[in-house]
């Protein structure tokens, strides 16, 4: 069977910038930030007191209350974003071949909130205080499991767990299942709920989080000389991928065509990227090869852009390796200064942002990029959204453990 074409027909978000694609896109383009002081727990003893929390989320708006009680927050987010994405795609799953419809939705960390609550329950009440739902609420694959149960797909259901590259790997894996004829429709993306006392303490211990607590909206500063760490985010982003003819036959709206996926390992360090950006560059190169595109055909890149000292410099090196002189013509941005770092969901929310940019020829701004680091000297979109003709775009993700992944999309029609 010849490789088949894959298109994006639906996008759903539960995010610090809104709980639908339209709300997310409108606020992102307007340069709004979802970052603020943490409201969920007392941060008096935490060096970092800021995060990008999801607002106005009620699980019962998306699922029965009884089901929600058996889910960790990351699972609730994933199921809710799936419902939003299916509605956006105008896709009734009951009308498609469920055996050829699958789910790959991952989480980089899983049910941290459940883990902390159940550990405390055991300390207070002993072994009998632990819920029988503890393990099913904790493990990262259960977002995909619950989505399959809730909506009915019987095709492949799985979960990549590659830290901050999770969602990008999930979407890439889903893309290939359709491309090579295993499925016709895939629900894919990432979900994360990592804003907990233990998680924030752990990342603080690593010196990874920004501690610009007095000005939360200014704290995340990708590619800026004054950056001092990332800001934790949370939420879910899910895309509906379809085989092109399947989408056309049902009259679906098509946002973009997904054409390439690349994945690589740094084989270097548990948390720091390869110092020369070799692995990140390879992921982009592999994606270009699969897309059958030349580097100079890429007009926009949604960078990983965490706002950490090493990541931003190394990512800049990687882009120069792949795109050479053309890297200065590409409109590059990072949306993490608006959404926070959504960890296992980051790659999906950033592909959605890149898809919006492609559809509207409008690149969202990189917030707080006021004094660019001299070592980060590419064509970053700063301050406000920029009109830019985009025929093809890339989104890349880098994860602890040396995981790198990249996706390429091109304009439809």
Instruction: Give the per-residue pLDDT at 50.
Output: 98
d(CA 282, CA 267): 12
403-411 and 256-265 beta bridge pairing: antiparallel
Both structure tokens of 216: 């939360």
Q: Are 237 and 28 in contact (CB under 8 A)?
A: no
Q: Are 207 and 173 in contact (CB under 8 A)?
A: no
The helices-and-strands tally (H runs, E runs) of the chain is 13, 14
Instruction: Give the per-residue pLDDT at 413.
Output: 80
Mean pLDDT, the chain cut into blocks of 10 residues (413 residues total): 94 98 98 98 97 97 96 98 98 95 98 97 97 96 98 97 98 98 98 98 96 96 97 98 98 98 96 92 98 98 96 97 98 98 98 98 98 97 97 97 97 91
Q: Residues with catalytic annotation?
A: 164, 304, 341
CB atoms within 10 A of CB 411: 16
Return the closest-CA partner of residue 170 out of 180, 159, 184.
Answer: 159
For the chain, the domains span: 7-249, 261-411
138-170: buried (b, 16+ CB within 10 Å) or exposed (e) per residue? bbbbbbbbbbbebbebebbbbbbbbbbbbbbbb
Q: For the domain bounded by 261-411, which CATH number is listed? A: 3.40.47.10
Instruction: Give the per-residue pLDDT at 125.
Output: 97
Domains 7-249 and 261-411 share a fold: yes
DSSP string, 169-238: HHHHHHHHHHHTTS-SEEEEEEEE---SHHHHHHHHHTT-B---TTSGGGS--TTBTT---B-BB-EEEE
CATH T-level fold of 7-249? Peroxisomal Thiolase; Chain A, domain 1 (3.40.47)
d(CA 364, CA 384): 7
Q: Are 98 and 152 in contact (CB under 8 A)?
A: yes
Both structure tokens of 184: 């016709």
d(CA 19, CA 237): 10
């Amino acid at each position: 069977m010849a490789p088949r074409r894959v298109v994006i027909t639906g996008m759903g978000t539960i995010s610090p910038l809104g709980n639908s694609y339209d709300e997310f896109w409108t606020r992102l383009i307007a340069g709004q930030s979802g970052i603020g002081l943490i409201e969920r727990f007392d941060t008096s003893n935490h060096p970092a007191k800021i995060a990008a929390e999801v607002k106005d989320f009620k699980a019962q708006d998306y699922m029965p209350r009884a089901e929600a009680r058996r889910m960790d927050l990351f699972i609730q987010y994933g199921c809710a974003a799936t419902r939003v994405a299916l509605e956006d795609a105008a896709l009734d799953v009951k009308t498609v071949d469920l055996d050829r419809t699958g789910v790959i939705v991952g989480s980089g960390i899983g049910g941290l909130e459940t883990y902390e609550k159940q550990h405390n329950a055991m300390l207070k009440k002993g072994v009998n205080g632990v819920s029988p739902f503890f393990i099913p609420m904790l493990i990262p694959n259960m977002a995909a499991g619950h989505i399959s149960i809730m909506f009915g797909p019987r095709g492949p259901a799985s979960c990549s767990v590659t830290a901050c590259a999770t969602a990008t790997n999930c979407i890439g894996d889903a893309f290939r299942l359709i491309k090579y004829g295993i499925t016709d429709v895939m629900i894919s993306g990432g979900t994360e709920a990592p804003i907990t006392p233990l998680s924030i303490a752990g990342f603080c211990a690593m010196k990874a989080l920004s501690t610009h607590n007095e000005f939360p909206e200014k704290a995340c500063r990708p590619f800026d000389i004054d950056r001092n760490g990332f800001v934790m985010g949370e939420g879910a982003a899910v895309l509906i991928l379809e085989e092109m003819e399947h989408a056309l036959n049902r009259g679906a709206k098509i946002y973009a065509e997904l054409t390439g996926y690349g994945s690589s390992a740094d084989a270097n360090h548990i948390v720091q990227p390869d110092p020369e950006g070799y692995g990140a560059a390879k992921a982009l190169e592999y994606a270009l090869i699969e897309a059958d595109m030349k580097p100079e055909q890429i007009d926009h890149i949604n960078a990983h852009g965490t706002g950490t000292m090493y990541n931003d410099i190394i990512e800049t090196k990687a882009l120069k390796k792949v795109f050479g002189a053309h890297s200065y013509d590409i409109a590059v941005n990072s949306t993490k200064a608006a959404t926070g770092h959504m960890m296992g969901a980051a790659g999906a929310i950033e592909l959605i942002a890149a898809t919006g940019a492609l559809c509207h020829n409008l690149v969202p701004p990189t917030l707080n990029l006021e004094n660019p680091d001299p070592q980060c000297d590419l064509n970053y979109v700063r301050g406000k959204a920029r009109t830019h003709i985009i025929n093809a775009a890339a989104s890349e993700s880098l994860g602890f453990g040396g995981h790198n992944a990249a996706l390429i999309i091109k304009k439809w029609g």
